[in-house]
Amino acid sequence: MDQGWLYLYEEDYRRAEDCFQSIRDALGDSLVTWRVDYGLGRCAGMHGRTDAAMQHYLKATAQVSRLRQRFANQEYSSSLFTSAQYLYDDAIALALDREDPETVLLLIEEHRSLVLQRQIASTGLHFSPEIGTAYKQQAELLRAMVEDNGAPGELDTALSSYLNTILNARHSNPLPDHLLINPLNLGELRKQLEATFPDWIILLYTQCKGELVVVVIDSGHIDIQRTPLDDALKVLLKKACLKRWRNYVFSNPDFAYLWNKSRQRWSQLTELGERLLPTSVRKRLRPDTRLLIVPGGPLHDLPWATLRIGTDWLCQRAVVQVLPSLSIWSHLVRQPVYGEKALLLGCSSFGSRASPLPHIADELDLVDRCWRGRGLVERMEDGKATRQALRTLASGGELKQFQLLHIGTHAQLLPDQSVQAHIKLWDEDMLLDEVTELRLGGGVVVLATCDGANGAVAPGEEVRSLSYAFLAAGARDVVANIWSFYGELTQGILEEFYHGLARKLDAPTALAQALRELLKYHDDGDGALPTRSPIVWGGLIAQGAGTVPGHSAGGTNPASDHST
């Protein structure tokens, strides 16, 4: 095989092809067979046999996907994808040249959020007594070091031991193939979407050889839009996604306009909307259009609701719903919901571990009032909101009875330390991997925390985030913030959102309605209320199925809440 690649680099394609062909059958389905199929594809392409090249590429990418699905760890999955990055790029580039959007879609979906797919399909961790004892000790040590800001070297050692124990547990219980989420079938997906949403558009993004590729799907068409990932777009994305630019870009008044850096308000967000949203899509959007966005690369951290279309925010022009992958959406929308009750969990004080959150009691009261008309409410507040109490409910399957889980507390995820991501409870922190084991019953999770949807993105679109962890645990939808959560300033948004849920609106529609109620006066001037500043509401996103079983999507049409 190595000799074949040497010939390929020397542009001796005939000898390279002979080498690859001579070992292809002997290798069978080994760990390196994909490299042989990739080499055969390269040779076929150089000889102008594009059909054969595409078939070899598809064999190779499918094998890489199968290998990645065996891994229960984002780092291992991403490492394999990185090794196959050139294969992935060449396959997509060839499909683009052949004007074959369905193959582009297949290639993108085949390598998206595979560890999350495995976690959603699995039945959780099952520890042997020996591994269980080690896991408990290592998790306690890691929590203590996170709280005390342990020395970097010691923290790295603790993290390594913790991850190895989790991997041993996950791989000692291999996931049967029949439990894996089914690969995407475009025809079946369209049928599901037609039965679910009156009007919908999918935007699926990836990067390929210096371009941003957007797959646009609706009920009758699938198209490809390509835009250069040039320096101008990279700067726009950096300013929209990085924390150090947040106050400059999203504060109200718009500082760029105020300081005469631009001729119109929100010019950067307008330009970003024009670059990321195809013209055909912008023209089609209506307030009740379900815009299903599958982000890629840096777009995972983008506050989609804040993109501008003319004088409107995107959240005013569409019901925005963010998905890990189309395959995961297709799986989530089929899952049942087991209960009607709500569990409200909140912590207002943490001793020396974190600053107090004095608004939490009022926040839980607000949610309690809104939900009472729909179902029973249970509360776990302060001293009752412990990690042990939550884990006890989970181990007994009692969390399945809740259609709503509202969590008001501190949370944190640092992209370069994502394994340490956690939510703070009364007694101690609950780590991200512990969240995935909560055994939820298909309800809505609302993370009224900072960093709830902030994610650490690795190659192969493997994302580690608290919101994904709750999807892995069995949530149907997660509403969370990719930024800081401004507790007191968001009470009005939460109230409108929960009124929507109480009327059996799905989570994305309820969020869209709440934001439109906040923004309907279009007060972008210097005297605008702080609550209307994009920095307060722009980071809120809805991820997941976006449906309420037994009810039509959207419920009451939120279009009536939009004033133009």
For residue 562, what pLDDT band results from cuts at 50, 70 and 90?
very low
Does residue 348 share a domain with residue 383? yes
In a domain, 180, yes or no: no
Sheet holding 429-431, edge to edge: 411-412, 422-424, 429-431
In a domain, 550, yes or no: yes
Each residue's pLDDT tens digit, 169-192: 655 555 555 556 788 999 999 999
Q: From 520, 492, 494, select the one nearest 507 (Cα to Cα).
A: 494
Does residue 350 share a domain with residue 321? no
The whole-number pLDDT of residue 561 equals: 41
In a domain, 227, yes or no: yes
Domain's final residue, options 277, 295, 327: 327
Does residue 498 share a domain with residue 391? yes
In a domain, 564, yes or no: no
Beta-carbon neighbour count of residue 15 at 10 Å?
A: 15
Does residue 422 share a domain with residue 350? yes
Domain's final residue, options 304, 327, 350: 327
Instruction: Number of helices (H) and strands (E) in the chain: give both, helices first.
Output: 25, 18
Each residue's pLDDT tens digit, 463-484: 999 999 999 999 999 999 999 8
Checking if the pLDDT of 259 tops 80, the result is no
Checking if the pLDDT of 47 tops 90, the result is yes
Given CA atoms 529, 535, 538, 541 in this order, what sign does their dihedral have?
negative
Domain's final residue, options 93, 120, 147: 120
- Per the document, the length of the chain is 564
Q: From 114, 34, 31, select the one nearest 78 (Cα to Cα).
A: 114
Does residue 232 share a domain with residue 140? no
Burial of 260 (0-12, 13-18, 19+ CB in 10 A): exposed
Does residue 104 share a domain with residue 133? no
Checking if the pLDDT of 257 tops 70, the result is no
DSSP 184: P
Does residue 546 share a domain with residue 515? yes
Each residue's pLDDT tens digit, 425-464: 999 999 998 999 999 999 999 999 999 999 889 999 999 9
Find the CATH number of the domain harbouring 359: 3.40.50.1460
For residues 514 and 500, is the Cβ–Cβ distance under 8 A?
yes
Mean pLDDT lowest among 82-91, 95-104, 124-133, 138-147: 124-133
The whole-number pLDDT of residue 563 equals: 35
Checking if the pLDDT of 253 tops 60, the result is yes
In a domain, 563, yes or no: no
Does residue 74 share a domain with residue 10? yes
Query: Which residue segment(s) compose the domain that 87 sits in?
Result: 2-120
Does residue 307 share a domain with residue 365? no
Beta-carbon neighbour count of residue 264 at 10 Å?
A: 11
When divided into structural domains, the chain yields a total of: 4
In a domain, 542, yes or no: yes
d(CA 477, CA 332) in angstroms, rounded, equals 9
Mean pLDDT, residues 495-502 taken together:
95
Each residue's pLDDT tens digit, 190-217: 999 999 999 999 999 999 999 999 999 9
